[in-house]
Structure 1
Amino acid sequence: MKELRHYIAANGTIIDVENEVSFEGSIEICDGKIRRIYTQNEALPDDISVVDVSGKYLIPGLIDMHCHIQERFAPHFLASGVTTVRNTAGNVFLLKNMIDAPFDVPTPRVYAADRMIDGTPGLWGPTSFGNLVTDDPETARKEVRRQAEAGAKFIKVYGLIKKEVLQAVVEEAREFNLEVSCDLIHAKELNALEAAEIGVTWFEHASGFVQALYDGWHPTADQEKWRHIDWEKPDEARIKALCEEMLKHHVKLCPTLVLTDQVTQQPNPWYPKNKVTESLKKEGILIDHWEKNAVQEALLKEQIGILDLFTKTVAKTYADLGGTVVAGTDTPALIWTFPGMALHRELELFVEIGFSEIEALQAATIQAARSIQMEEIGAIKEGFIADLVVLDANPLIDIQYTKSIHHIIKGGKIYSQDELLSNVPSNEYMEKLIADFQIEWEKVESVQS
């Protein structure tokens, strides 16, 4: 499509997620931002190019609040209407091209943590570019300082971290005005309430809540001890009491419902047939990874799948109490968490557990943006960055219509799905990217040592 710097997307239905209304109107976009919104009855200027979106529905660009993006499948996020991602652990040097990119490029904008901080022996192995393993508080403080200087937007800790190390991480992060996020799924000595009391803000996967209710439980524990728990009927009263305590600490949840839902659906997982998933298969991206993991179906269901209804109950209960609950996917973790597309399934699951369509959209737009203080995205609003998704059908009637993508607008630039998916990086490009990264990371390690 011809590039336009100043144009009007005219005569569509604008879904205003901030005010929970929709109306017929037009959006003037100039230099990547929304300059003006016209209602149906207002005359449009006759000296500005017009892009007709009659019969279409315009929503803000979607935000995946928990994923692990790579350049190899970044176009698939944007082709799915995901214009921003919150990368919850990885390495900021490896993501530098996307983090530093102009805001209209054909990849999502990236709000990223650096490598996770874990305790010994390390759930993902020993210290590497993706994780720091330590039981020493001062080493953890030093790592927080390094990450802050490297440009991390928040700090991520993992399940084997010791309490005294977590305390040091939280204290040091506050010096840099950085929030701390935790994944406590595998925690053996720490639970969600304890982490909240220490000062952790973000609870990925609503993790650590099970440990707070069932002291001693963790995925690799002897599950025979816990056979008395009816995981299909979560204890709603105890969950509500725990959520009330967590709310006092103003924590935020990203439950990643699709993660456990795909496990429970196995061997017939949610698998939409569309351009995005067809491209992943054609390019051989992640399919082998998921197929290898799917072989462990029984183990995944016993250790992770049993948490499905528990996590869904926590998410809805916490939201009903007024807590912040946002939409994320953990792509490409476990099985069939399709880049970009998994967020659409997440929104469907939000609706299935009792959120309205507009509430689900808010969890991936305005509420998500506000939760990380990104003040210029997440809504169709004058002065905001022009990140939009143009849909063929109304998602307020059926949330599944978020997948009916006609075009994507990123920083004011209009893209088709085909355009985005035709620019998937080659294997050769990725090999060079990783080689260059390894050189940069060796410099970082030499400075650290």
Structure 2
Amino acid sequence: MIKINSVNWIDLKNGKIEMRDVEIPSEADAVIDGAGKYMMPGLVDMHTHISPLSAKHYLASGVTSVRNTGGNYELIQMVDDMAPNTYATYRFIDGDPGLWGPTSYGTVSTNDMDTAVEAVEELHAQGAKFIKVYGNIQADVLEAVVEKGEALGLEVAADLLHTKSIDAMKAAEYGVKWLEHASSIIQHLFPGYHTQLSDEDFAAIAGKPMDEDKLKGLLLYLMENEVKIVPTLTLYRHLAEGRVFNPPELDASRQMKLLGSDEMLSIDAQFRSIDDQISRELRKRQKWEYEQVKWITEKYLEMGGEVYIGTDAPAGTWVYPGFSMVEELNAFRDFGLDNFEILKKATIEAKKVIGENEGYILLNSNPIERLENILEIDTVFVAGKAFTWDEIAEHQVDGDGMREVFESLEAKYN
């Protein structure tokens, strides 16, 4: 048992801070002086892609649980103890041609219902908690995936950002329960819209106002069908604006320095390579999508729809594992939520979905005053273990072992 004495406990259920002693079940016995410090449940990133290389960076920013929305079973099994709890799916199911190419260690690209159903069975055997489908999936395949998923107790989550045929209404009709990135809602509101439109056709659609009555009708239908959305606003914003952080001082944080100095992860090089290829026209489109998704999210929250907080790290550009949760939390301030409400959504509400995985963070500053104070990590408690900031920063993964597994997967699928 670990005991933290006289700590300022942030009671997110009741919206108050009270000084008290806190006990955490642990394989170790320790007493920590919590005087002057703040403690709360750890954050949950509800849309991300964890890897052995990125795992510690979630803890470094106070994220103690993740909902992994696509990846590879064998690689995720290599994540060591210096990591958040993981509520995962693995290979996602796309159409053929796949948006990320043919079937590989990360995707099953098929227009064949039997092959897709076999992929669902594989996920179930691996212990996946849900199924993820992608933007080129065909309608009959999606229906078969949902039917098999329901039989096995697995909900279907859909990333339909690039779909040309399945809008949010159809997805809900088929039984999809999660719209990642709040995707395919725009396609319903602006018929004919898709991400491959010509500049001229995009300008014509973007020049039209959103039909508020149509939006309300759709959102009511999604609520009736218990559809949840994860808007990943920070992803849209960085694609539109580039390397601009919210708030700007996050760029000087020790978490950013740690990410930048991690030579095995090499995430900044990845982001720069992508960012250099983003045209002015694409940024314009991303800005338009960002504004639409913000409005959709605000209305769904107002109506009582289920909205969860996630980042899609490390997708796109400048969306970092762990660190970008703070940006996403700040984005929710635009919806009139106070910091207690935002943190409750990112902890207590999220854990109702992924299960009550125990995770807590001990902070040197009060996150209710400023959400970015979450980065003032003293100690992270997860899965019965306690890790100080220094221990997290100094941790190294088994790079050789990971390369061996990766090479074996490439050989298997190529």
TM-score range, shorter chain: over 0.9
| Secondary structure at 2:252 match in 1 | coil
Task: Say what the alpha-carbon RMSD is for the aligned residues.
Answer: 2.2
Q: Please tell me the residue identity of whatever aligns with 1:195.
A: A
- Residue 81 to residue 309, structure 1, CA distance change in 2 (3 Å): same
Runs of 4+ in structure 1 deviating by more than 6 angstroms, as ranges, are none
CA distance in 2, matches of 1:416, 1:57: 15
1:272 is matched with 251
Query: Of 310, 317, 320, which residue of structure 1 is paired with 2:302?
Result: 320
Match of residue 41 from structure 1: none
Structure 1 SS opposite 2:144: helix
Partner letter of residue 366 of structure 1? I
| 1:21 and 2:16 aligned | yes
Contact (CA 8 Å) 1:116, 1:157: kept in 2 or not?
yes
- 1:81-100 to 2 correspondence within 5 Å? 81-98=62-79
Q: Distance in 2 between matches of 1:299 and 1:273?
A: 30
Aligned residue type for 1:65: M
- The share of aligned pairs that are identical, in percent, is 35
**What is the match of residue 245 of structure 1?**
221
Alignment of 1:115-126 (within 5 A): 115-126=91-102
- Deviation, 1:11, is 0.9
Structure 2: how far apart are the matches of 1:404 and 1:231? Answer: 44
CA contact (8 A) 2:206 2:288 kept: no
In the TM superposition, residue 235 of structure 1 has moved relative to its aligned partner by 5.0
1:264–1:320 distance in 2 versus 1, CA, 3 Å: same
Indicate the residue corresponding to 2:184 in structure 1.
Answer: 208
Of residues 15, 35, 39 in structure 2, which corresponds to 1:58?
A: 39
Separation in 1, partners of 2:393, 2:26 = 24
Aligned to 2:338: 356
Residues 400-415 of structure 1 correspond to what in structure 2 (within 5 A)?
A: 400-415=372-387
CA contact (8 A) 1:32 1:411 kept: no
Quickly say closer, same or farther: Cα 1:269–1:349, change in 2 above 3 A: same
Contact 1:233–1:309 (CA<8 Å) still a contact in 2? no
Whether contact under 8 Å (2:2, 2:26) holds in the other structure is no
Maintained 8 Å contact 1:156/1:180: yes
Could you say if the C-alpha distance between residues 119 and 112 of structure 1 is closer, same or farther in structure 2, counting changes exceeding 3 Å? same
The question of whether the paired residues in 1 share the 8 Å contact of 2:300 and 2:306 is answered with yes
Change (3 A) 1:230 1:126: closer
Corresponding residue for residue 39 of structure 1: none
Structure 2: gaps of 5 or more residues:
none
Please state whether the residue corresponding to 2:78 is helix, strand or coil.
helix
Unaligned regions of 5+ residues in structure 1, if any? 1-5, 34-47, 378-384
- Alpha-carbon distance in 2 for matches of 1:411, 1:273: 30
Instruction: List aligned pairs for 1:299-378, cutoff 5 A.
Output: 299-372=281-354, 374=355, 376-377=356-357
Amino acid at match of 1:416: T
Equivalent pair of 2:52/2:75 in contact (CA under 8 Å): no
2:105 is the alignment partner of 1:129: yes
**Aligned pairs (5 A) from 1:29-48:** 29-31=24-26
Q: Report the more deviating stretch, 277-286 or 422-431.
A: 422-431
How big is each residue's C-alpha offset from its partner over 1:75-133, in whole Å with a ceiling of 9 and x where there is no partner?
Answer: 111111111111101111211133xx6xxx21111111121111121100111111111
Sort the Cα spacing of 1:269 and 1:152 in 2 relative to 1 into closer, same or farther, 3 A. Answer: same
Say whether residues 1:7 and 2:10 are aligned partners. Answer: no
Deviation of 1:412 after TM superposition, in Å, equals: 3.6
User: How far is 1:69 from its partner?
Assistant: 1.0
Amino acid at match of 2:222: M
Question: Given the alignment, which residue of 59, 69, 89 partners 1:113?
Answer: 89
CA deviation after TM superposition for structure 1 residue 26, in Å: 1.1
Say which SS state the counterpart of residue 226 (structure 1) adopts: helix
Q: 1:323-373, CA deviations, whole angstroms, 9 ceiling, x for partnerless residues?
A: 11111000011101111000111001011332221221122111111123x
Does the 8 Å contact 2:245/2:251 carry over to 1?
no
In structure 2, the partner of 1:146 is 122
1:79 maps to amino acid: A
Structure 1 counterpart of 2:371, from 378, 395, 399: 399
Contact persistence 1:86–1:110 (CA under 8 A): yes
Distance across 2 between alignment mates of 1:160 and 1:189: 9
SS at the partner of 1:97? coil
Give 2:54's aligned amino acid. F
User: How many positions carry a matched residue from both structures?
Assistant: 408
**Cα contact 2:70–2:132 (8 A) shared by 1:** yes
**Distance across 1 between alignment mates of 2:207 and 2:68:** 30
Normalized against structure 2, the TM-score is what?
A: 0.92
2:406 to 426, 430, 434: 434
Cα shift at 1:432: 2.7
The secondary structure found in structure 1 opposite 2:35 is: coil
Give the 3-state SS of the residue equivalent to 1:111 in structure 2: strand
2:48 to 43, 56, 67: 67
**Which segment drifts farther, 309-318 or 196-205?**
309-318
- Going from structure 1 to structure 2, the CA distance change for 1:315 and 1:281 (only over 3 Å counts) comes to same
SS at match of 2:292: helix
**Which structure has more helix as a fraction of its residues?**
2
TM-score by length of 1: 0.85
User: Structure 1 residues 247 and 174, CA, compared in 2 at 3 Å: closer, same or farther?
Assistant: same
> How far is 1:244 from its partner?
1.5
* 1:257–1:311 CA contact under 8 A, matched in 2: yes
1:419 to 2:391 alignment: yes
